[in-house]
Chains A and B, each alone.
Chain A
Amino acid sequence: MSRLPVPLILGAVLSSVFLAMALLSFVWTPHDVEQLVIANRLQPASGEFLLGTDQFGRDLLSMLMVGARVSLAVALVAVGIGVVIGVPLGLAAAATRGSLLDELIMRGNDLIFAFPSLVIAILITAVFGPSAFNAIIAIGIFNIPVFARVARGGALSLWTLDYILAARVAGKGKARISAEHILPNIANLLIVQATIQFSLGILAEAALSYVGLSVQPPTPSWGRMLSDAQTMIYTHPMLAVLPGLAIVLMVLGLNLMGDGLRDMLDPRLRRVRQ
């Protein structure tokens, strides 16, 4: 590990910038994002409004900062749901390979994979009411099979190894082996997958909030900023360009970090990103 891969550094820097913006927005933003000051509407970039204002007089930079917070929070919790539920399922499936449980878990996973996730997410948020919470659930559900599959795949190859056999001979149960010996050894795989799902979650949240099915006004989000900007695209294109750029840079940062981490943590693993 003498030299860190360039994509990893680039990705980490990009992601940290947005993370810092999001964290900073909790305690400070240049302007209040929930207050509409019509006198300030559609200001160009200036010393007071670094990136200008939107048609309701809100400061664009402040909105982007709060938007980063929303986007990161939704994606992070959605990944959390996938890890907390999916990984134990995958470990259990691997530990009881070929059993009814394994079969059930894997078939269930195939099912969720076959679903067009965005369609179901739209259905869920539409019926249960649009909110950040429902967006998290809708995105998180589809993370479960992903992590279950990665955990199972990684665990299956470990179960054949001698040191696992030694642990069994020493009298450890399957659950304990999974937690103490398997889990730490598939952590690499899970971390890489988590960064991928994290960036996919940000894209999904942006799509949901673009169609008005995620966080509700007055809280700004990147997707909603884009849909608000759509009517202004003829006169004020920057309103549509900036939030999209934020999404792209954030996702790009996470993807580069994921690629870099994968190469660094496991050079043997040259799997195709799908």
Chain B
Amino acid sequence: MLRFILGRLLSLSLSLIVASLVIFTVIEVIPGDPAAFMLGLNADEATVQALRADLGLDGSKAERYLTWIAGMVQGDFGTSYTYRVPVAELVADRLWVSLPLAILSLILSTAIAFPVGLLAAANRGRAADYGIMGGTQLGIAIPNFWFGMLLVLVFAVNLRWFSAGGFPGWEEPLQALKSLLLPSVALALPQAAILARVMRSALIETLAQDYMRTARAKGLSRRQALLRHALRNALIPVLTIIGLQFSFLLAGAIIIENVFFLPGLGRLIFQGITQRDLVVVESVTMLLVFAVIVVTFLVDIAYAIADPRLRRRA
């Protein structure tokens, strides 16, 4: 087990190094001088030079990369050029929107997918199964940002139950939660469709196992066997997918935040892009990639704890 964790840890750090190199290089290859790029066409020479010094652009590429990484490790993400505040502060503010959004969606998606997948598996080959599978096909095909717009159309424009977007801040917890509800439903439903399919096929695979026959033979009803034995064993692949979905939720949140005008990390990246604030774009992207890679790592470990066979494979 220790060997497995060490191996995974190694590939985790490797992933992070490569990711940071990729992001750094992408930002580097911007045609022309980054300082000039950030200031636009009309900037005078002195301002550009000042910004160059500010960004440390006079150093070599390797130096700048190392400074950036060293800063990130210590929690110093650089200073936003447009906001004139440390990026870490901006991120901390926005995280209070993006993180609750991702978590709320994950909870919703799981809460929808579990019973639906279970119902489909229990009724395999019957009308309920076909209905559910058809529904999930539709769910997978729906782009979450469009679903978000439809939700706005129905619940904000027509029924007026919710506001169409914006975020009141956590000083009013109920209002804040309410404003996150539509976006998280929009994010969760397409994910739930995928998860329900995984849940169904994992359950069906487990139901075919010998120990399920044993469970039935010792007198458990179909229902009891399903809930007591099949469910637990089917959970492993389902948990992996839930872990992977975190990555989709983060990326999906970027788009959804634009639909609902939520001041989260996604909006921060887009504002950084339109305002040419490269420091913000670079650091926030790295942070998102970091989060996804670490979650993938944790899922791998959790998976190995649950299923000892996997430890040897790595």
Contact = CB atoms under 8 A, between A and B. Distances in A.
Contacts of A233: 149, 152-153, 157, 164
Contacts, number: 127
A117 interface: yes
Interface string A179-214: 000000000000000000001000100110011000
B281 A244 contact: no
Contact of B255 (A114, A123, A210, A272): A210
B interface secondary structure, majority? helix
B250 interface: yes
B292 A247 contact: no
Interface stretch (A17-25, A78-86, A250-258): A250-258
A244 B141 contact: no
B11 A110 contact: yes
B237 interface: yes
Contacts of B292: 114-116
Interface string A252-267: 1001100100000000
A146 to B, nearest CB: 14
A120 B26 CA distance: 10
B23 A273 contact: no
Given A110-B11, A272-B197, A116 B26 contact: no
Contact of A252 (B137, B197, B269, B273): B137
B270 interface: yes
A255 B15 contact: no
Given A119-B250, A124-B26, A211-B270, A255 B141 contact: yes
Interface string A99-114: 0000000010011001
B273 A126 contact: yes
Contact of B258 (A114, A128, A211): A211
Determine which residue in A116, A127, A255, A270 has the highest number of CB atoms from chain B within 10 A of its CB, and name it: A116
A13 B63 CA distance: 57
Determine which residue in B30, B146, B289, B296 has the highest number of CB atoms from chain A within 10 A of its CB, and name it: B146
Interface in A225-256: 226, 229-230, 233-234, 237, 240-241, 243-244, 247-249, 251-252, 255-256
A272 B133 CA distance: 13
B143 interface: yes
User: Interface range on chain A: under 10, 10 to 19, 20 to 34, or 35 or more?
Assistant: 35 or more
B294 to A, nearest CB: 10
Interface string A109-146: 01100111111101110111000000000000000000
B137 A272 contact: no
Given A111-B14, A247-B146, A274-B241, A119 B153 contact: no
Contacts of B242: none
B298 to A, nearest CB: 12
B185 interface: no
Contacts of A249: 141
Contact of A240 (B149, B252, B270): B149
Contact of B251 (A116, A124, A252, A259): A116
A234 B152 CA distance: 9
Contacts of A116: 247-248, 250-251, 288-289, 292
Contacts of A115: 19, 289, 292-293
A274 B143 contact: no
A126 B11 contact: no
Interface string B4-28: 0000000100110011001100110
A115 B152 CA distance: 31
B62 interface: no
B174 interface: no
A257 to B, nearest CB: 11
Interface string B254-283: 110011000000000110010000000100
Contacts of A256: 137
A123 B281 contact: yes
Determine which residue in A119, A122, A243, A272 has the highest number of CB atoms from chain B within 10 A of its CB, and name it: A119
Interface in B176-206: 194, 197-198, 201-202
A237 B164 CA distance: 14
B140 interface: yes
B142 interface: yes
A207 B140 CA distance: 14
Interface of A: 107, 110-111, 114-120, 122-124, 126-128, 199, 203, 206-207, 210-211, 226, 229-230, 233-234, 237, 240-241, 243-244, 247-249, 251-252, 255-256, 259, 270, 272-274
24 contacts: A111-B15, A115-B19, A115-B292, A116-B289, A122-B273, A123-B23, A123-B285, A128-B29, A199-B141, A206-B143, A206-B146, A207-B143, A207-B255, A211-B255, A233-B157, A233-B164, A244-B142, A248-B141, A252-B138, A259-B137, A272-B198, A272-B201, A273-B140, A273-B194
Given A111-B14, A123-B281, A272-B201, 20 more contacts: A114-B15, A115-B289, A116-B247, A119-B251, A119-B285, A123-B26, A126-B273, A126-B281, A207-B143, A210-B143, A241-B153, A244-B142, A247-B146, A248-B138, A248-B141, A255-B137, A255-B140, A256-B137, A272-B202, A274-B194
Interface of B: 11, 14-15, 18-19, 22-23, 26-27, 29-30, 137-138, 140-143, 145-146, 149-150, 152-153, 157, 164, 194, 197-198, 201-202, 237, 241, 244, 247-248, 250-252, 254-255, 258-259, 269-270, 273, 281, 285, 288-289, 292-293, 296
